[in-house]
Chain A
Amino acid sequence: MKISGQRPSPFRTMISRSAIGRNAQLALRRQCCAKAAPSNRRGLAAVSSGSTSFSYDSADVAGVKTASRDVAGPTTKLAVVVKAGTRYESLPGLTTGLEQFAFKNTLRRSALRITRESELLGGQLSAYHTRESLVLEAKFLREDLPYFTELLGEVLSQTKYTSYEYHEEIEAIIKLSQKKLLADVSALALNSAHGLAFHRGLGTPLSPSSSTPFKYMNEQSISEFASAAYSKANIAVVANGTSQAELSKNVGQFFTDVPATSAFTLSSDTSKYYGGEERIAHGSGNSMVIAFPGSSSFTAGGSYKPEIAVLAALLGGKSSIKWSPGFSLLSKAASKFPGASAATTHFAYSDAGLLTIQFSGPAAAIREATTEAIKSVKSISEGSISKEDFTKAVALAKYRALEEGQRTDAGLVATGAGLVHGGKPFQIDEVGKSIAAVSADKLKSAAKALLESKATVSAVGDLYVLPFAEEIGLKV
């Protein structure tokens, strides 16, 4: 700005210095500086219209559920969370297909135009899906909210779903992602565990499996699925870094073309836990997943069980600090067998959950580590863990839950999913409280219930070495 102010203007060079008075010169300079720095332009430090609250405000705008969190900062993240994850797909693969069609040609502008315009504004667009939700996301500078709200509304209601885009771009990408999935033993094992645990619904593979390549999917079936998925009742618009008033105004203006109700409703039966064992031979790498019924997510309301989160932290597997295997039972167990690694994850969905322990590494090490892991679950159920370990686990579980709420991406999806599934937005303070209230007895009975229920065991890799569920003392 300063440089442009000192640059000699043609006017000044043409007329000699003495010809204009000092005042006129000053006025000239002031004018040119004013042009370079308009009054509405703010420095980074000045942007602070947001509050520091980490909880979401939610509102219903003309039938669209919205939630926003006005975190201070110059950027905004806006997401449309659609209740159209793999759980709800009417034919295999449609969620992946619909995800790929996001930000393609619409009736108003081409995919190229969408890309170039967003690039010029410094925005980033992405689309991804989980088992329950399809998420269309835009990240941008705070003042560009109207542009990106309009864009997301347009993607929902006016995408063309052309045949040639499907054949030329989408098909190839889906084929590649299939190849990637088939080479990834841990993803295969997790998919297999979900399939065993929930059969249909939540058990549908996260990306289309090789047995159903393009039999059911084409631009027409995707377009029909879109007309069912993209309706006002089925979506939630969640924003981070903008006020609820601003969001409501823009959503009310730009989401008018989205139909209020869909042609047919996407539904899925209430999840039921089955359990079982599956063994898949694989040449590259070994992975084994042992899973138990878990708790539904916090946003689902009643069926949320905080002790499962504490149990996941106590079993653990990955150290959260440096230079030590950490306090978690599985990392201690796995450290005895070089090469083996274990990780406990709790997958929480709207009406069910899956507590998974995943092992990877050499087959022989996995074999030993799984036996050891089952022993540690037993020790929890017998109540023979130290008070100190319990306190550490509660603290870690609380930290993880709060961090998830605080981090914009995870919080955004959790809130959106909570809203579209008829629950409540992710409220960070309540989650923290419910985890802190978990007692040692509750944890003990939760672990006991796990061992008594039917387990889910899936082994991928060298099946000669990897153990059967029976061999490690699990009922399937």
Chain B
Amino acid sequence: MSAPSLASAIKSRPWLAKRLMPLANWYANAAGYRKLGLRADDLIPEESEAVLLALKRLPEKEAYDRVFRLRRAFQASLAHQLLPKEQHTKPEDDYQYLSPIIKQIEAEAKERDDWDSVVISKKA
């Protein structure tokens, strides 16, 4: 799932992060998903093994809230309406609740691949 991203490189340089933050916030708001009450991680496509497994590993409360947010957004979208302002996702609520789990699953898969193709050299 995870697309190549410069985020970690930018975050590790505070001066750069400070300059780009206003732009990032503007972009996130302009993308519109917050106005439908969604979080950025709700937009990750579900159609992959890793994401499906990650969804199963979500804590019960997170999974329930996710479904609620999605249904509310579908409903708003069908009605061609945005949610009232107080129901918009606040920037501090827009945290990554799913991506860390997906990254962990991808790391597990990579580790398995690495072990499957391991080359053993005997100590001299």
State whether these chains interact.
Answer: yes
The total number of A-B Cβ pairs within 8 Å is 18
CB of A112 within 8 A of CB of B57, answer no
CB of A112 within 8 A of CB of B115, answer yes
CB of B108 within 8 A of CB of A112, answer yes
Interface status of B30 (Cβ within 8 A of chain A): no
CB of A116 within 8 A of CB of B115, answer yes
User: Smallest Cβ distance from B113 to chain A, in angstroms?
Assistant: 11
CB of B115 within 8 A of CB of A38, answer no
Interface status of B118 (Cβ within 8 A of chain A): yes
User: Smallest Cβ distance from A160 to chain B, in angstroms?
Assistant: 12
Provide the residues of chain B in CB contact with A38, threshold 8 Å: 124
Interface status of A30 (Cβ within 8 A of chain B): no
Bound-state Cα–Cα, A38 to B124, Å: 8
Bound-state Cα–Cα, A324 to B112, Å: 55
- 1/0 per residue, CB under 8 A from B, across A388-412: the answer is 0000000000000000000000000
User: Smallest Cβ distance from A89 to chain B, in angstroms?
Assistant: 26
Main secondary structure of the interface of A (DSSP, over half): helix
Contact of A113 among B57, B115, B120 (CB under 8 A): B115
Bound-state Cα–Cα, A110 to B112, Å: 10
CB of B57 within 8 A of CB of A110, answer no
B57 — nearest CB in chain A belongs to which residue?
A164
Bound-state Cα–Cα, A31 to B59, Å: 62
Interface status of B111 (Cβ within 8 A of chain A): yes
Asked if A110 meets B108 with Cβ closer than 8 Å, knowing A38-B124, A163-B57, the reply is yes
Provide the residues of chain A in CB contact with B124, threshold 8 Å: 35, 38
CB of B120 within 8 A of CB of A112, answer no
A109 — nearest CB in chain B belongs to which residue?
B111
A110 — nearest CB in chain B belongs to which residue?
B111
Bound-state Cα–Cα, A163 to B115, Å: 24
Provide the residues of chain A in CB contact with B56, threshold 8 Å: 164, 168
Contact of B120 among A110, A120, A163, A164 (CB under 8 A): A120
Chain A stretch 38-79: residues in CB contact (< 8 A) with chain B: 38
Provide the residues of chain B in CB contact with A164, threshold 8 Å: 56-57
10 contacts between A and B (CB under 8 A): A110-B108, A110-B111, A112-B108, A112-B111, A112-B112, A112-B115, A116-B115, A120-B120, A163-B59, A168-B56
Instruction: Please list the residues of chain B having a beta carbon within 8 angstroms of any beta carbon in chain A.
Output: 56-57, 59, 108, 111-112, 115, 118, 120, 124
